[in-house]
Structure 1
């Protein structure tokens, strides 16, 4: 009995894989999914590493600015500087308690 049916090559391969090659097909799909997940994870890791580096640089800049502000605060709060400004700009001077006449209001 000769059959004149024509079968496509893709159909024959698909039937053969489904009939005899289920395990290799599942392993191939698993390997492809795993490869995509590895690439995605590596990409996200690189992005997070770059973001971490940027945040570390920003932290260092803020730390330097904070230290400069502490130095500036110490310089501005220096007693000799305050005394000099009070004497020169505000014409203030030291008061001698022995010569002070205090008027107390009651």
Structure 2
């Protein structure tokens, strides 16, 4: 009885293969659907990777912008006339020339 029961029941996988083999358009559409779904997965993965890279580049740009602003403030600090005069007098022992220290050279 088990032999007859197993023989009478069709194998579903074989029936699907037979149906696809008989109808070539359905088989072609099935292959196109699988290829399309795999390409959607691939494109989604690549777009997420690009977004992650974009976020890291934007963060690096912000860090470099902040560092550039610090350098601008530092440049402003070191280029102030009072600071330059103070360094010249304290570290280099320079002083402003008086009128007696000036010499005029006449070129002919």
TM-score above 0.5, yes or no = yes
* Alignment correspondent of 2:85: 83
Displacement of 1:28: 0.7
Which consecutive unaligned segments of at least 5 residues does structure 2 have? 1-10
Change (3 A) 1:41 1:13: closer
Counterpart-to-counterpart distance in 1, 2:102 and 2:58 = 61
Higher fraction of helix = 2
Displacement of 1:89: 1.4
After the TM superposition, which of the residue ranges 85-94 and 9-18 deviates more from structure 2? 9-18
1:37 counterpart = 2:39: yes
Counterpart-to-counterpart distance in 1, 2:19 and 2:65 = 67
TM-score by length of 1: 0.78
Counterpart-to-counterpart distance in 2, 1:79 and 1:101 = 22
After TM superposition, the runs of 4+ consecutive aligned structure 1 residues lying more than 6 A away are: 9-12
TM-score by length of 2: 0.76
* Alignment correspondent of 1:18: 21
Change (3 A) 1:31 1:103: same
Which consecutive unaligned segments of at least 5 residues does structure 1 have? 1-8
Change (3 A) 1:83 1:41: same
Change (3 A) 1:63 1:12: closer
Q: What RMSD, in angstroms, separates the aligned Cα atoms of the two structures?
A: 2.3
